[in-house]
């Protein structure tokens, strides 16, 4: 009997162990598959009823509830994602999260929450598609398929498009359609969105990692960093006595800080006007009023290869003609490094000036901007009747080059970074502004100069210096004048730009096209890329972005990075490489950086290396840069929104203003 009892007890123990193993395996399987959004009544892929995704105590602040989950229910790290099903960045982030979950199969659980964005017309119906598929155990598969086919949303009946995908996934299509129309699914989507809004979610994708906020489509490394940090904190809580089934609620309590409600802010003060004293040097050329009579001195910092400088030159001529006895214009050379003929053209003008023909050469250089070069300089010198032997000698003289450098140093001391730039009695004016802007300054400065001249009996450079000093003391500190209507942004003929074989994002028939000229080694371009990501997210199919490489000469890794992006594009991964390059700017000098990034994208390395070295790729980079130069791009980033020029890493609001105007027009 004793032997029989022992055998029975042993058998029972074996059965219990087997049951335990099955339960653990089943629990993991359930976590790795779909959990019902409706109190666990929907079947999983295995065909059995799915229990709630919650293991232990849920959080009252960021509840998992009955949302779909992926990963073990008792994972120490829970990532709650708020996603809009028409947001391309949510699609990219979703792929990153799946990679993360596969890399940490026992540590990470994903929780999906709907957050359709109002400006994405089919986002809510896209959410209905994935939720309906989830009722047949294919939530995550449908989510992936939907993001892979974002381009098919436009003009589609989402129910029919979803039914097509449901058939491809082997679902019961009639049931899918019935579930798509179920008001309970709509209610779930709306409840998710209300939850997100209460948590401070304003855009997508938005994540809470054990309650810690992570915004945007971050790279895998960023999520790993946060997950590792959370795992360390979980260990501390467990060591302090927190039960495992209470970890999620405890971590959310510890990490979550609700975003404060936005409060009206004080209007921002306009930046103070810049005033700089730059001397008139003996080597400088001037026109207009003589030095002893001039009341207003305008410093013109220009590059002869810059088309906007040509436009600014025409405005200044008009101004001088209107105020011939009051305005003196002093020309200062400011050649731009990426314009190869800019500095030689400056020397050619000085060489002509040595024979009394500076302004004649000045006009001819602007008229012949697209043909500048040594042969053209000599042709123009002959055209205005110069002594060619002297012209060639002066053109090549070190003294001539030094005059150019000194003028450029003068501009740099006044904060001139691009061309054209002007100082009106020291007051900085940037860009090829319309005549009215200059006239506004000139009229005020004439009145100021007349008073100072009368009070202190000054003239010439002494008067100029006194007026600049007056402006330094008064203009910058003066209350802001009533806002004038903003001058229209410089607009170019859109025919001057072409898509060609450049990489694009968004539909070809989008009402707004943005050309982006950028350098991958430029930190401001990285900031500009973030702004464009937000533009893409918020405007969806209404905007197409065309990327143009514009590597900067002083950034040694800029051109190779451009070739790496184009080489990745040969394998359909241009935009993935685009983001990786900006994320890894500080590693550009690392040996093998391009291959490492290509490896992260899973590219065929033999093909990548061949394309990277392909002369055709290098030629495309040059062609795109040349195209930018032809429309006056003088630095990066530079953008053209349906032809309207936007310079620098401007805030999203600036892009929104211009895009909305185009859409309304």
- Residue 145's pLDDT band (boundaries 50, 70, 90)? very high
Task: Indicate the burial class of 241 (C-beta count within 10 angstroms; 0-12, 13-18, 19 or more).
Answer: exposed
What is the model's pLDDT at position 119? 62
Task: Indicate the burial class of 586 (C-beta count within 10 angstroms; 0-12, 13-18, 19 or more).
Answer: exposed
**Res 94 pLDDT > 60:** yes
The per-residue pLDDT for range 515-570, each reduced to its tens digit, is: 999 999 888 888 888 889 889 888 889 999 999 999 987 778 999 999 999 999 99
**Res 118 pLDDT > 80:** no
What is the model's pLDDT at position 273? 67
Classify domain 285-474 by CATH number: 3.40.30.10
Strands 543-549 and 512-518: parallel
**Res 648 pLDDT > 90:** no
Task: Indicate the burial class of 223 (C-beta count within 10 angstroms; 0-12, 13-18, 19 or more).
Answer: buried
**Res 593 pLDDT > 60:** yes
Phi-psi region of 354 (alpha: psi -120 to 50; beta: other; left: phi over 0): alpha
Q: Are domains 33-255 and 285-474 of this chain identical in fold? A: yes
**Res 421 pLDDT > 80:** yes
264 or 231, which is more confident: 231
Mean pLDDT of 2-16: 39
Two tokens at 458?
A: 């000054």
Report yes or no: 287 and 324 within 8 Å, Cβ to Cβ. no
**Res 169 pLDDT > 90:** yes
Mean pLDDT of 610-619: 95
CATH fold group of domain 494-664: Glutaredoxin (3.40.30)
The per-residue pLDDT for range 29-75, each reduced to its tens digit, is: 333 333 333 333 332 332 222 333 344 589 999 999 999 999 998 89
Report yes or no: 398 and 407 within 8 Å, Cβ to Cβ. no
Two tokens at 63?
A: 């509840």
Domain ranges of the chain: 1-28, 33-255, 285-474, 494-664
164 or 652, which is more confident: 164
What is the model's pLDDT at position 490? 67
Within 478-522, residue ranges assigned H as helices are: none
**Res 28 pLDDT > 70:** no
pTM attached to this predicted model: 0.40
- Residue 507's pLDDT band (boundaries 50, 70, 90)? very high
- Residue 338's pLDDT band (boundaries 50, 70, 90)? low
What is the model's pLDDT at position 271? 39
The per-residue pLDDT for range 207-253, each reduced to its tens digit, is: 999 999 988 778 888 899 999 999 999 999 888 888 888 899 999 99
In this prediction, what percent of the chain has a pLDDT beyond 70?
86
d(CA 633, CA 518): 10
d(CA 636, CA 628): 10
**Res 416 pLDDT > 70:** yes
Measured CA distances, 235 to 31, 75, 105, 241, 627 (Å): 21, 12, 17, 10, 57
Q: What is the mean pLDDT of the chain?
A: 84
What is the model's pLDDT at position 25? 41
What is the model's pLDDT at position 295? 96
CATH class of 33-255: alpha beta
């Amino acid at each position: 009997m004793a032997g029989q009892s022992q055998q029975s007890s042993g058998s029972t123990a074996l059965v219990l162990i087997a049951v335990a193993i099955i339960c653990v395996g089943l629990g993991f399987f359930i976590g790795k598959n779909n959990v019902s959004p409706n109190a666990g009544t929907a079947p999983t892929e295995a065909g059995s009823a799915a229990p709630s995704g919650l293991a232990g105590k849920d959080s009252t602040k960021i509840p998992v509830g009955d949302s779909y989950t992926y990963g073990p229910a008792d994972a120490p790290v829970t990532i709650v994602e708020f996603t809009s099903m028409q947001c391309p960045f949510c699609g990219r982030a979703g792929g990153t999260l799946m990679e993360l979950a596969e890399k940490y199969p026992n540590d990470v659980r994903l929780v999906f929450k709907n957050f359709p964005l109002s400006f994405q017309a089919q986002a809510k119906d896209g959410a209905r598609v994935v939720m309906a598929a989830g009722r047949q155990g294919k939530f995550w598969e449908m989510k992936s398929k939907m993001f892979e086919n974002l381009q098919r949303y436009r003009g589609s009946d989402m129910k029919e498009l979803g039914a097509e995908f449901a058939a491809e996934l082997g679902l019961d299509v009639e049931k899918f359609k019935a579930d798509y129309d179920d008001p309970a699914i709509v209610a779930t989507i709306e409840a998710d969105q209300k939850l997100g809004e209460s948590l401070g979610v304003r855009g997508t994708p938005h994540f809470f990692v054990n309650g810690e906020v992570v915004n945007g489509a971050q790279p895998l490394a960023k999520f790993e960093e946060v997950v590792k940090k959370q795992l360390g904190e979980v260990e501390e809580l467990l060591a302090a006595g927190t039960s495992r089934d209470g970890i999620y609620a405890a971590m959310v309590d510890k990490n979550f800080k609700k975003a404060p409600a936005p409060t009206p802010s004080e209007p921002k003060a306009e930046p103070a006007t810049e005033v700089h004293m730059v001397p008139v040097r003996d080597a400088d050329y001037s026109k207009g009023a003589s030095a002893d009579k001039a009341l207003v001195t305008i410093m013109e910092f220009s590059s002869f290869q810059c088309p906007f400088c040509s436009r600014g030159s025409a405005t200044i001529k008009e101004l001088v003609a209107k105020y011939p006895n009051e305005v003196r214009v002093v020309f200062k050379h400011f050649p731009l490094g990426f314009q190869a003929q800019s500095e030689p053209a400056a020397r050619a003008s000085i060489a002509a000036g040595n024979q009394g023909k500076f302004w004649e050469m000045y006009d001819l250089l602007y008229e012949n901007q697209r043909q500048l070069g040594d042969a053209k300089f000599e042709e123009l010198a002959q055209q205005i009747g110069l002594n060619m032997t002297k012209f060639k000698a002066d053109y090549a003289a070190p003294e001539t080059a030094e005059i150019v450098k000194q003028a450029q140093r003068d501009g740099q001391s006044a904060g001139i970074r691009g061309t054209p730039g002007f100082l009106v009695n020291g007051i900085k004016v940037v860009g090829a502004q319309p005549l009215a802007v200059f006239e506004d300054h000139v009229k005020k400065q004439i009145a100021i100069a007349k008073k100072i001249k009368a009070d202190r009996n000054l003239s010439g450079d002494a008067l100029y210096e006194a007026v600049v000093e007056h402006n330094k003391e008064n203009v910058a500190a003066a209350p802001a004048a009533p806002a004038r209507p903003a001058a229209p942004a410089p607009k170019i003929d859109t025919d001057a730009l072409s898509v060609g074989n450049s990489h694009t994002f968004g539909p070809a028939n989008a009402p707004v096209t943005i050309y982006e000229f950028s350098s991958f080694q430029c930190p401001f371009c990285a900031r500009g890329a973030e702004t464009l990501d937000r533009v893409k997210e918020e405007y969806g199919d209404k905007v197409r972005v065309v990327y143009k490489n514009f590597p900067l000469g002083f950034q040694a890794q800029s051109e190779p990075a451009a070739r790496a992006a184009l080489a990745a594009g040969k394998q359909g991964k241009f935009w993935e490489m685009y983001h990786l390059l900006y994320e890894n700017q500080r590693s550009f000098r690392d040996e093998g950086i391009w291959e490492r990034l290509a490896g992260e994208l899973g590219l065929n390395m033999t093909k990548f290396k061949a394309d990277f070295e392909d002369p055709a790729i290098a030629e495309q980079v040059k062609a795109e840069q040349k195209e930018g130069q032809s429309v006056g791009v003088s630095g990066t980033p530079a953008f053209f929104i349906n032809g309207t020029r936007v310079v620098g890493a401007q805030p999203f609001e600036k892009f929104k203003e211009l895009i909305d105007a185009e859409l309304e027009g």
